[in-house]
């Protein structure tokens, strides 16, 4: 007997410009989708009354009913339909409003990239399928658990069989959960891109900071949950700046007036407030609040110091300011990568946690072989032939070894004994070329 083929996935495009609708129809028809079109929000709602639709792409700016209002009604009446916003202007406020009211999956700017919009629709439909499959599997699990309660205790073999089925079901649930987690991170990256819509110096900043905190989290042995919170915080740490002017965002912080600095210094608390309402983002929200706290207590907003600052915040601070120094948003002149790292090292133990600065220096040394830097090194890691790039002073202030001194085995042994006896760490700064 011939099986009935599954119905084609149906897409609805809503735009008041016929040329846009025609372009979208030509693009997606070749991928096997069933296409519906409407030239207004009202016409789109009428179609949804009679047609099964899997995904809607709506323009933002339309007469009578804009895209935000249209997608809000779609969410209220047909919540399982995936919603995507098509916007042709950089109106951040309207875009955020549409995201909040219509719970859209993504927004796409005009003019779009054909490959990007096709992949976005494909990912959105796959995410929707996984969510529905997750609901089905949860219902199946509940049904199987109810059956297990009613099984006769003597039917051991049947119990074992059912238990194996449940195990397989939970395995499928875990797989679906991993996919949902991936989609969640994609959504976080969408929010992270909002501040970068303005371009200029901030473009790419959050992504670069996130790359560094991921590596530093591994080196400093953060647990998996904390690593995820720090990564999300890195991507979203500037979300509290959305309401600030371009001048306040891009001018060096130390060149701002007192009033302007006060306005900028509010953004960590604003960022925390934006995210605290989402359970999955509460850990990241707290890290965002404290990502401008400094090791010596001179930071803001709560003037935390030393180990009172969560390790994730100390990592985020170092990664954020390393990139800000190169962008020229922290000090008046943008720095080269090597100069930015030296600036961090100079402020090691003052503005920054020494362990985090050391980890970043080691990371950059491995990633950029041509970047000549000095490496903070403990006596246990010193090797004969290394050359000091700075004077090595005792914690009490007197000189132990002078800058330019070549280290030998006897010196290393003396430094190790001194550190062990006094119980206080010693840090030597080594020229990178002498380490190779």
Domain assignments of the chain as residue spans, ordered by start = 10-122, 127-197, 199-371, 375-436
User: Dihedral through CA 159, CA 160, CA 163, CA 169, nearest 10?
Assistant: -120
Q: Which of 109, 67, 96 is nearest to 199 (CA)?
A: 109
User: Hey, which of 185-194, 244-253, 287-296 has the most confident mean pLDDT?
Assistant: 287-296
Higher pLDDT, 401 or 278: 401
φ and ψ at 400, to 5 degrees?
A: -100, -50
Q: Which of 397, 433, 430 is nearest to 412 (CA)?
A: 430
CA distance 188 to 288: 14
CA distance 232 to 237: 8
Give yes or no for residue 307 having a pLDDT over 80.
Answer: yes
Give yes or no for residue 38 having a pLDDT over 50.
Answer: yes
Give yes or no for residue 146 having a pLDDT over 80.
Answer: no
Mean pLDDT over the full length of the chain: 82
Q: Which residues of 186-217 are buried (b: 16+ CB within 10 A; e: fewer)?
A: eebeebbebbeebeebbeebbebbbebbbbbb
Instruction: Check residue 200 and give its pLDDT.
Output: 62
CB of 310 closer than 8 Å to CB of 286? yes
Instruction: Check residue 171 and give its pLDDT.
Output: 58
Mean pLDDT confidence for 7-22 = 91
CB of 303 closer than 8 Å to CB of 295? no
Give 360's contacts (C-beta < 8 A, 6+ positions apart).
Answer: 212, 216, 318, 319, 322, 341, 344
Range in 24-33, 77-86, 134-143 with the lowest mean pLDDT: 134-143
Instruction: Check residue 4 and give its pLDDT.
Output: 47
358, containing H or E segment? helix 354-367
Higher pLDDT, 43 or 253: 43
Under CATH, what is the fold of the domain 375-436?
Molybdopterin biosynthesis moea protein, domain 2 (3.90.105)
Instruction: Check residue 176 and give its pLDDT.
Output: 47
Long-range contacts of 180-189 (CB under 8 A, 24+ apart): 180/127, 180/130, 180/131, 180/134, 183/123, 183/127, 183/130, 184/280, 185/232, 186/123, 187/105, 188/232, 188/235, 188/236, 189/235
Instruction: Check residue 33 and give its pLDDT.
Output: 93
CB of 313 closer than 8 Å to CB of 272? no
Instruction: Check residue 282 and give its pLDDT.
Output: 86
Range in 293-302, 304-313, 391-400 with the lowest mean pLDDT: 391-400
Higher pLDDT, 377 or 93: 377
Token pair belonging to 407: 């280290």
Higher pLDDT, 196 or 60: 60
Q: Give the CATH number of domain 10-122.
A: 3.40.50.2300
298, containing H or E segment? none
Rg of the chain on CA atoms, in Å: 28
With bands split at pLDDT 50, 70 and 90, how would you rate the model's confidence at 292? very high
Chain CA centroid to CA 328, Å: 22
Give yes or no for residue 183 having a pLDDT over 70.
Answer: no
The gap between the terminal CA atoms of the chain, to the nearest Å, is: 72
Give yes or no for residue 78 having a pLDDT over 60.
Answer: yes
Give yes or no for residue 71 having a pLDDT over 80.
Answer: yes
Instruction: Check residue 330 and give its pLDDT.
Output: 83
Give 202's contacts (C-beta < 8 A, 6+ positions apart).
Answer: 195, 196, 238, 249, 250, 327, 329
Each residue of 364-406: pLDDT tens digit? Answer: 878 776 665 667 777 888 889 888 888 888 877 788 888 888 8
Each residue of 203-261: pLDDT tens digit? Answer: 788 888 989 999 999 999 999 889 988 988 888 888 888 777 777 777 778 788 888 88
CA distance 303 to 394: 29
Q: What angle do CA 101, 35, 72 make, to 5 degrees?
A: 10
Each residue of 329-371: pLDDT tens digit? Answer: 888 788 888 888 888 988 888 899 999 998 998 888 787 766 6
With bands split at pLDDT 50, 70 and 90, how would you rate the model's confidence at 180? very low
Task: Reply yes or no on domain 199-371 having CATH 3.40.50.1000.
Answer: no
Q: Which burial class, exposed, middle or buried, applies to 237 when counting CB atoms under 10 A from its CB (0-12, 13-18, 19+)?
A: buried
User: Facing residues of 392 across strands?
Assistant: 401
Instruction: Check residue 312 and give its pLDDT.
Output: 93
């Amino acid at each position: 007997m011939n099986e009935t083929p599954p119905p084609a996935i149906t897409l609805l495009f809503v735009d008041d410009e016929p040329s846009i609708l025609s372009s979208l129809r030509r693009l997606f028809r070749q991928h096997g989708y069933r296409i519906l079109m409407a030239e207004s929000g009202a016409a789109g709602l009428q179609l949804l009354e009679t047609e099964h639709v899997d995904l809607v792409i709506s323009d933002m700016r339309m007469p009578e009913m804009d895209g935000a209002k249209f997608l809000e009604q779609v969410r209220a009446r047909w919540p399982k339909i995936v919603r995507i916003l098509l916007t042709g202007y950089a109106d951040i406020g309207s875009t955020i409003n549409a995201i909040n009211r219509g719970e859209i999956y993504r927004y796409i700017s005009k003019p779009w990239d054909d490959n990007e919009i096709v992949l976005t629709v494909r990912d959105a439909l796959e995410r929707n399928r996984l969510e529905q499959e997750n609901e089905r599997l949860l219902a199946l699990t509940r049904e199987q658990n109810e059956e297990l309660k009613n099984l006769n205790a003597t039917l051991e073999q049947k119990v074992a069989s059912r238990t194996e089925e449940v195990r397989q079901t939970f395995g499928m649930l875990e797989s679906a959960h991993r996919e949902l987690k991936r989609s969640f991170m994609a959504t976080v990256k969408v929010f992270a891109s909002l501040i970068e819509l303005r371009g200029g110096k901030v473009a790419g900043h959050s992504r670069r900071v996130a790359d560094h905190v991921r590596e530093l989290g591994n080196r400093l042995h953060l647990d998996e949950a904390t690593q995820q919170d720090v990564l999300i915080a890195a991507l979203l740490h500037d979300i509290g700046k959305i309401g600030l002017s371009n001048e306040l965002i891009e001018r060096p912080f130390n060149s701002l007036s007192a009033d302007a600095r006060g306005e900028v210094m509010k953004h960590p608390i604003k960022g925390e407030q934006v995210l605290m309402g989402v359970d999955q983002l509460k850990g990241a929200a707290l890290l965002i609040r404290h990502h401008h706290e400094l090791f010596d207590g001179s930071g803001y907003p709560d003037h935390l110091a030393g180990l009172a600052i969560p390790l994730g915040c100390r990592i985020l601070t170092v990664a954020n300011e390393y990139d800000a120094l190169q962008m020229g948003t922290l000090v008046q002149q943008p720095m080269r990568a090597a100069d930015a790292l030296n600036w961090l090292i100079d402020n090691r133990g003052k503005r920054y946690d020494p362990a985090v600065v050391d980890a970043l220096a080691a990371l950059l040394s491995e990633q950029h072989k041509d970047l000549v830097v000095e490496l903070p090194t403990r006596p246990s890691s010193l090797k004969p032939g290394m050359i000091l790039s700075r004077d090595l002073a005792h914690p009490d202030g007197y000189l132990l070894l002078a800058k330019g001194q070549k280290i030998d085995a006897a010196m290393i042994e003396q430094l190790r004994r001194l550190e062990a006896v006094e119980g206080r760490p010693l840090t030597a700064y080594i020229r990178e070329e002498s380490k190779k």
